[in-house]
Amino acid sequence: MDIRNQNLEPDCFYHIYNRGVNGDIVFQNNDNYMFFMVQFRKYLNEVCDLYAYCLMPNHFHFVIKIKSQKELFDFFEEKNKRPIKKGLHAMESLTSKQLSKFISSYTQAYNKVFDRHGTLFESPFKRKKIDSEKYLRNLIIYVHRNPIDIKKDFKTYKFSSYITVLSSLKTNLKRSEVIEYFDNLENFVFCHNNVIDFKF
């Protein structure tokens, strides 16, 4: 089945990820990283909850949970001001459409700043449904440890949710829920430092 026809289901967890076309850089500086997260909040806060993320120079990872059917329905009605339809503009496509708008908005801004044209990210964006708590925990660890691949310390990497989970600063990240999946903060840290080899 074409990935574009796989709707993101309400109340389900997903690993959303993508990379630059041909593996090219998609974040040139700190402002790019910060703007990317601003756009995430703008386009996706109403349709999903954020559990983990990591932005790397040429790709990104998000662990999200799609909002409930009612929350999506309310947002759809408020946004569209018209009856529910089928097809591309149906409520079932709402989250995927918002994700596409998010990526497109960043691409347009990036292209303007760096005087380039065309697609920035591979299309369509990649998504994997998370079907167990164990998978969810392992995925959160995997996402947070991504900076190791570019010889960076994941514990101090600025563009990941690992530091956010450890902090007490205001955030749209589902910090309490993430910690709960690891039982407590101490175990969250322990599991990240004593990782079992796993692949996704």
Mapping DSSP onto H, E and C, the string for the chain reads CCHHHCCCCCCCEEEEEEEEHHHCCCCCCHHHHHHHHHHHHHHHCCCEEEEEEEEECCEEEEEEEECCHHHHHHHHHHHHCCCCCCHHHCHHHHHHHHHHHHHHHHHHHHHHHCCCCCCCECCCCEEEEECCHHHHHHHHHHHHCHHHHHCCCCCCCCCECHHHHHCCCCCCECHHHHHHHCCCHHHHHHHHHCCCCCCC
**Each residue's pLDDT tens digit, 57-114:** 999 999 999 999 999 988 888 776 655 555 545 667 889 999 999 999 999 999 999 9
The pLDDT mean for the chain works out to 91
What is the domain count for the chain?
A: 1
Question: Is residue 68 situated within a structural domain?
Answer: yes
Question: Is residue 42 situated within a structural domain?
Answer: yes
Q: Which domain holds residue 23?
A: 3-193
Residue 60: CATH number of its domain: 3.30.70.1290
Higher pLDDT, 4 or 41: 41
Question: Is residue 200 situated within a structural domain?
Answer: no
137 pLDDT more than 90: yes
What span, in angstroms and rounded, lies between the C-alpha atoms of 54 and 34?
A: 12
pLDDT at residue 80, as a whole number: 66
Question: Is residue 184 situated within a structural domain?
Answer: yes
123 pLDDT more than 60: yes
Question: Is residue 198 situated within a structural domain?
Answer: no
How confident is the model over 15-33, as a mean pLDDT? 97
pLDDT at residue 1, as a whole number: 39
How confident is the model over 137-160, as a mean pLDDT? 97
Higher pLDDT, 199 or 178: 178
The confidence band for 127, taking pLDDT boundaries of 50, 70 and 90, is very high
Per-residue tokens: 138: 């392992």
Question: Is residue 100 situated within a structural domain?
Answer: yes
200 pLDDT more than 60: no
**Each residue's pLDDT tens digit, 26-55:** 999 999 999 999 999 999 999 999 999 999
160 pLDDT more than 80: yes
Strand partners of residue 62: 16, 53
198 pLDDT more than 80: no
Place of tokens 């503009």: 89
